Amino acid sequence: MAYLFCRTEYFRGLELGPKVAWAVLGVLIIRGWLWLENRRAAVDGAATVASGADEDRISPWVGFAELLDSALVALALVFFIIKPFVLQAFFIPSGSMKDTLLLGDRLVVSRFAYRFGEPQRGDVVVFKAPPQADENQTEFIKRLIGLPGDRIKVEKGTLFVNGLPVEEPYIRERPRDRTPSRPEPGALHTRRDYLGFDWYLEDDQVVVPEGHYFMMGDNRNQSRDGRTWGYVPREALVGRAILIFWPPQRVRGIWWPDGVAGTEAHVSQGGAEETRSGAL
């Protein structure tokens, strides 16, 4: 019953599991019992005063009730303000982001990042799993490679963004497959049959549609990502990963100033600057 209570419309999106639901319900029950106990003590105290007795009838549970009230306020802040709107913890369930993120890493994800700012190339992004991904996870984490309007290609192990080659120091190894992929020549199936979605192509490059983003895992040869299930819409973005907080030996910020994050300067400036920017 507690779990169903926490899955109602009011709680939708908070992703409270059954353990948390039972804990919240338990705290509420205890607090209700303390309220009744303190109320009974207050009534007894009033009767004692009316009879002229000096016996102290203050409930011994008053201090504990105040402590519990503070705990309830803290829980409310965490589950109804901080988690839905500010910060979220995220557990890495696979090796698709090696060696940037390892299996078992725990992250802090900023939900503020895309409420008041725009996604940038190179961001490590948590987003709702695309329906065509056909996996059990509800949220994915990948690196943002392409913004709306960007032209993306991977050829001979090198990423190209808007026609410029990009050196990526964070990837585990160079990708073996070409992007955009395509059916074998002479095959009877269409591109949609082959991939499950349609590429938007221009000069044999993937064109990211308006309002969408192209994501790839840093472990390029062991990642199911945008090359498999296509583009991610803006409304599916949950937040930007900013910090690994566990295990202790892995505590660090998550940001690479170079690689695809530096591509914007390449695109907006002239050819001489492009050559100095770290492109291959």
State the catalytic residues: 96, 142
Cα separations in angstroms, 16 against 107, 128, 236: 18, 16, 19
Q: What are phi and psi of 214, to 5 degrees?
A: -115, 125
Q: In 130-278, which residue ranges form alpha helices assigned H by DSSP? A: 191-195, 226-229, 263-268, 271-276
CA separation for the pair 169, 256 (Å, rounded)? 9
CA separation for the pair 185, 119 (Å, rounded)? 37
Helix axes 62-77, 18-51, angle to 10 degrees: 150
Cα separations in angstroms, 266 against 88, 109, 179, 271: 33, 28, 21, 8
Total residues belonging to the chain: 280
39 contacts 32 by C-beta, under 8 angstroms: no
